[in-house]
Amino acid sequence: MIGSLLYLTASRPDILFSVRLCARFQACPKESHLHAVKRIFKYLAYTPSLGLWYPRNSSFDLHTYSDADFGGYKVDTKSTSGSCQFLGNMLISWFSKKQNSVALSTTEAEYIATGSCCAQIMWMKQQLLDYGFNFKKVSIRCYNTSAICLGKNPVHHSRTKHVDIRYHFIKDHIEKGDIELVFVPTQEQVTDILTKPLDEQTFSKFRLELGLCEIE
């Protein structure tokens, strides 16, 4: 059941967080986990015609959203990173993944998520360059102002010296003009749908903003 759902997440980002969360208990599942998986199938049965829409009159600017749910996974208190990349209004890439280490602050969790998003952006820029598209200062939209300041400030502080050095390559790409960190309000952070459980109204709003709609 989990395997088939993981395959479906390639075209249904709205179930990615729920499926990834259930997949963590494959080694030793309980009855409650089975009920959770069945609820996902019920949701899919209720929305069989939902799919990603790619309008041909969309713009062609590359931008992305990055988010992290600090300590959201209660089993080991690790945070969940998520990001989604858009070409205009078209969703072309997305991921949701539990972080490898326990973050000591919201800033660290968001900074790690932004680093993963930056790596994805650099790969996409290189791929698009082969087709003649050269993007400068691709915006990474994040709602944590501390993580944004950390990315722009070249000085290491005592509060951030524990952050692994591999995540600080963000600063290098900001200085080169490859990316820029942009603040986005929480209510407009569409990546929340990939990192945490939401109420029905917010879930439906972000699902529509991802480009998922009824396709006849």
Contact 185, 141 (CB under 8 A): no
Q: How confident is the model at residue 59 (pLDDT cuts 50, 70, 90)?
A: confident
Q: Domain 62-190: what homologous superfamily?
A: Ribonuclease H-like superfamily/Ribonuclease H (3.30.420.10)
Q: What is the pLDDT of residue 38?
A: 94
Mean pLDDT of 179-196: 91
Reply yes or no on whether the pLDDT at 95 is more than 70: yes
Confidence of residue 158 (pLDDT cuts 50, 70, 90): low
Q: What is the pLDDT of residue 165?
A: 63
Helix/strand/coil for 192: helix
Q: CATH 3.30.420.10 residue ranges in the chain? A: 62-190
Per-residue pLDDT, 157: 58
* pLDDT at residue 171, rounded to an integer: 81
The pLDDT, as a whole number, for residue 36 is: 93
Residue by residue, DSSP assigns 32-96 as: HHHHHHHHHHHHHHH-TTEEE---TT----EEEEEEEEEEEETTTTEEEEEEEEEETTEEEEEEE
Q: State mean pLDDT over 152-168.
A: 61
Structure confidence at residue 156 (pLDDT): 57
The pTM is what? 0.87
As to burial, measured by CB atoms within 10 angstroms (0-12 exposed, 13-18 middle, 19+ buried), residue 12 is buried
Contact criterion met (CB below 8 Å) for 14 and 212: yes
Q: Using the predicted structure, report yes or no on whether residue 175 has a pLDDT greater than 80.
A: yes
The predicted-structure confidence for 130-154, as pLDDT tens digits, reads as follows 888 888 889 999 988 888 887 777 5
- The one-character DSSP state at 141 is E
Beta bridge partners of residue 52, listed in sequence order: 212
Q: Is the pLDDT of residue 58 over 90?
A: no
